[in-house]
């Protein structure tokens, strides 16, 4: 079973601290929690984490590591079933993709990687839903999933930069993250 603490430590190591790059479409970011994301979080969830009132750039700047971990648990870990991934290395990678690209895209990447690893286009439905069949496929394939998952993720990142050249400034960092498993 996947361990939340190991997964979140991996994400936090990739995310780093405060950043306010004007080219970042998420806006200012701290511990990987972006202004765009935090503005979408339920006000009750924000209040449970000590954030009241309007979410601003200052809110992001003041965000603590503990608050970020709490958001990763409530808004990512609890909304999917990462704990059902048996291989901790694969769980860390899929969780990191979900934080970086959103759960839907992370799941699509994992599903496509499953098909690639099994050399069957229809091995699993690529619908972006992290359900029982996808989790079963991930657990069945396990370590053989690593190369195709890196390929799917890095390809996705390259397509972002190709479609929107303003994002190419981030590509080297994104690829470093994609290759870190």
Assess contact for 68 and 56: CB atoms under 8 A: no
The pTM assigned to this predicted structure is: 0.93
Assess contact for 148 and 126: CB atoms under 8 A: no
Backbone angles phi, psi at 121, to 5 degrees: -60, -35
> Tokens 């994992």 belong to which residue?
110
Written as six digits, the tokens of 34 are: 């972006």
Q: What was the pLDDT predicted at 181?
A: 86
Run means of pLDDT, 10 residues per run, the chain, 181 residues:
92 93 91 94 92 94 96 92 95 96 96 97 95 97 96 97 96 95 86
Per-domain boundaries in the chain: 4-77, 85-179
Phi-psi region of 27 (alpha: psi -120 to 50; beta: other; left: phi over 0): left
Residues 166-180 as b or e (16 or more Cβ within 10 Å = b): ebeebeeebbebbee
Residue length of the chain? 181
> Tokens 């970011």 belong to which residue?
29
| C-beta neighbour count of 71 within 10 angstroms | 22
Q: What was the pLDDT predicted at 72?
A: 95
């Amino acid at each position: 079973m996947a361990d939340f603490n190991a997964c979140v430590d991996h994400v936090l190591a990739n995310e780093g601290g405060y950043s306010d790059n004007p080219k970042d479409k998420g806006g200012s970011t701290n511990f990987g929690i972006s202004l765009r994301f935090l503005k979408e979080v339920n006000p009750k969830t924000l209040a449970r984490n000590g954030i009241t009132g309007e979410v601003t750039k200052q809110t992001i700047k003041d965000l603590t590591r503990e608050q970020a971990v709490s958001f990763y648990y409530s808004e990512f870990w609890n909304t999917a079933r990462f704990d059902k991934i048996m291989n901790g290395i694969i769980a860390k990678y899929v969780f990191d993709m979900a934080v970086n690209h959103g759960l839907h895209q992370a799941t699509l990447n994992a599903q496509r990687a499953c098909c690639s690893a099994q050399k069957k286009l229809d091995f699993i439905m690529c619908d972006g839903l992290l359900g029982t069949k996808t989790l079963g496929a991930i657990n069945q394939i396990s370590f053989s999933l690593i190369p195709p998952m890196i390929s799917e993720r890095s390809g996705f990142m390259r397509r972002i930069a190709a479609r929107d050249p303003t994002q190419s400034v981030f590509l080297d960092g994104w690829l470093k993250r994609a290759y870190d498993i």
